[in-house]
Amino acid sequence: MPINFCSFRIALNLSALHPLFMRFKRESYSDQQLINLYEQLLSPRLIEEKMLILLRQGKISKWFSGIGQEAISVGAVQALATDEYILPMHRNLGVFTGRNVPYERLFAQFQGKPSGFTNGRDRSFHFGTKEHHIVGMISHLGPQMALADGIALANKLREDKKVTLVFTGDGASSEGDFHEALNVAAVWDLPVIFVIENNGYGLSTPSEEQFRFKNFTDKGPGYGIKAVRVDGNNLLEVHSSITQLANEIRKDPKPVILEAMTFRMRGHEEASGTKYVPQELFDQWGKKDPVDNYERFLLRQKVLDKEKVEKIREGIKKEIEEGLKIAFAESKPDALTEKEISDLFFPHQQTVHTPKTEKRSEKRFVDAISDALDQSMSKYQNLVIMGQDVAEYGGVFKITEGFVEKFGRHRIRNTPLCESAIIGTGLGLSINGHKAVVEMQFADFVTCGFNQIVNNLAKIHYRWGQNADVVVRMPTGAGVGAGPFHSQSNEAWFFHTPGLKIVYPSNPKDAKGLLNAAIEDPNPYLFFEHKFLYRSLADTIPDDYYTVEVGKASLVTEGEDISIITYGLGVHWAKEIVSEIEGISADILDLRTLLPWDKDAVATTVKKTNKVLVLHEDTLTGGIGAEIAAWISENCFEHLDAPVSREASLDTPVPFSAQLEANFLPKERFRTKLKELLAY
């Protein structure tokens, strides 16, 4: 099969594929530095050769080979300081060995053993270790780039003069996260090196079917940032280039693209094989093997001789065997349900803060939210608020109006229109010691950041013990004539995701206290704020900082006839309609927190009244009410005098017209359902 190198976007000419044309520029490298780099380059190669044997023996379950690409990982990690964060991908084993991660822990990770970094909960390189300043990937490839933005932002805010380096591949560049992360880094002048490993394929799909531009360096001018291209198989070229770039952006923080031209000599992962790659490519790139070429260079330079090479190889192999021996001897993790559940969240025992003084004033719902953000910003100097138009404009609902003057633009940050990158940036801030509040301009727009929430924020502590100190504010709900894309109640989308906490207050006092509590908690929150209540509801609440207990429902009214379990705007519908029906006596239970929801309070009211109606604004099918109704039926059946009832919005999108919207919402159907249940 004839080979068309243009189709693979290979930036090296044919002559450069011959080993004689891989020119190593020694420059100021000492003999010892060259030897150290050789040892670092050889380690991942020898580990990989062993892993491929173990894979065939069934002793590990999967392997993503980086053979042929080691020079990029090794050159990058050796160019950074050990306390500078690096975010690798599948083929960056050299990053882990270069940060001196103990072999026995690496091998335990590959085998799902407890002394690995995820206690058997995730595989291969899907983990991080703060001790070694490494943040691993998730399978979705692109989202880790935004985490690098957040880590770099934290460094910039502290004026640490540190660099963050993140890897991605030519295939992953097609994801929206790639664009979002580069754009945010460019707009905010973040000190991030984006290393793009261009190996010509996204799994089996060649570059010509992935993108139309010639080189990734062409993207630099479009983002307004510097972009350079290197021979990714030339260890010294990678190392010296990244060293120079890192020195530059430590002094003058700015992002940079580094495109590393390379090739992988094995399949995407071992099960996929390599039949989709022309043999001519393997033959040509085999001549550019980074280990063989660098070794020959050192032999020519008389930095090493054959005897020293063999001694180094044997030493590394011995360390590998010793690490494997320890990992193989370790037992598999015990499956303890209590531990699995408790490890969803970073340990946090809430202390409920009461106001220091009796001073109170009337505040609208919107003012209570603003008050909480203001006081939490003063309480936590490492707290950053991010979102579209939240700075001078104050957000579309004016909640952060005046905050720039008080806290500065470095902490109140306008963002590009890119929900995924900003949520990921919030997580990166958390990894690097900050707190983050991210505003979704409307809760509907969270769809564009869904992956970051359900796969990064929610899972990161369970996977490798990293907390996500991020609150995502969600202006939500209908009743304001905003139509299908600005009115959705989407809390149920996240209710099914372990690892998140979800709060949905119904009044100004709870809104302020629960938002303060959410920011205080070092775990990920979705904080729903009903837009209809922003300026239509006011109450006299404490002026001082205080918190409300998370996970605790509130009994709004007490009665004997029926229990109405609800939250958000449903609380006000229930109060209004109960007051209009003569002779009714009802418990109205405001859940306030949806994850975790207060099962004890629900059980107490059910046992008291023996009739239950669950009300929520979200659509009926698959709503939170279904879970609560099922739980009541399973756990309180003997206390029921009637079937558990539910009322909710129609199973349609939210319409714009006021008449259609009123019909969509459950208020009037709730009135009818309530009377029917009372008469049952």
Q: What is the CATH number of the domain that holds 591?
A: 3.40.50.920
* Angstrom distance (rounded) from CA 176 to CA 362: 44
Q: Which residue has the higher pLDDT, 214 or 543?
A: 543
216 is a domain residue: yes
| Rounded mean pLDDT, 204-224 | 88
Contacts of 438 (CB under 8 A, 6+ apart): 386, 387, 422, 423, 426, 470, 471, 472, 473
533 and 565 co-located in one domain:
no
Sheet containing 593-595: which strands, arranged edge to edge? Answer: 412-414, 383-387, 435-439, 470-476, 525-530, 501-503, 593-595
576 and 460 co-located in one domain:
no
87 is a domain residue: yes
pLDDT of 371-413, one tens digit each?
999 999 999 999 999 999 999 999 999 999 999 999 999 999 9
Residue that finishes a domain, picked among 282, 305, 327: 327
In Å, what is the CA distance from 237 to each residue of 102, 228, 259? 28, 12, 12
Strand partners, 226: 256
Model pLDDT, residue 286? 82
Q: Is the dihedral of CA 267, 272, 277, 280 positive or negative?
A: positive
459 and 502 co-located in one domain:
yes
**Residue 171 sits in which domain range?**
31-327
339 is a domain residue: no
Gyration radius of the chain's alpha carbons: 29
pLDDT of 636-671, one tens digit each?
999 999 999 999 999 999 999 999 999 999 999 999
Residue that finishes a domain, picked among 485, 520, 542: 542
CATH number, residue 490: 3.40.50.970
11 is a domain residue: no
492 and 579 co-located in one domain:
no
Residue type, 391: A
pLDDT at 4 over 70: no
150 and 279 co-located in one domain:
yes
User: What is the SS3 assignment for 236?
Assistant: helix
Cis previous bond, 114, omega within 30:
no
538 and 591 co-located in one domain:
no
171 and 267 co-located in one domain:
yes
166 and 297 co-located in one domain:
yes
The total of structural domains in the chain comes to 3
* Angstrom distance (rounded) from CA 272 to CA 276: 9
333 is a domain residue: no
1 is a domain residue: no
Q: At what angle do helices 306-329 and 290-300 cross, to 10 degrees?
A: 140
Residues 474 and 445: beta-carbon distance below 8 Å: no
71 and 211 co-located in one domain:
yes
Q: Tell me the Ramachandran region of residue 576: left when phi exceeds 0, alpha when psi lies from -120 to 50, beta otherwise.
A: alpha
State both tokens at 299: 């032999």
626 and 657 co-located in one domain:
yes
Q: What is the DSSP letter of 333?
A: P
pLDDT at 297 over 80: yes
Q: Is the dihedral of CA 89, 94, 95, 96 positive or negative?
A: positive
288 is a domain residue: yes
Residues 443 and 475: beta-carbon distance below 8 Å: yes
498 and 410 co-located in one domain:
yes
Catalytic positions, written as ranges:
486
606 and 508 co-located in one domain:
no
| Rounded mean pLDDT, 132-150 | 94
Give me the chain's average pLDDT, please. 93
Claim: this prediction has a pTM higher than 0.85: yes
98 is a domain residue: yes
Q: Tell me the Ramachandran region of residue 622: left when phi exceeds 0, alpha when psi lies from -120 to 50, beta otherwise.
A: left
Model pLDDT, residue 12? 38
Q: Which range is least confidently modeled, 260-264, 358-362, 417-421? A: 260-264
Model pLDDT, residue 21? 60
Element at 323 (helix H, strand E): helix 306-329
Residue that finishes a domain, picked among 484, 514, 542: 542
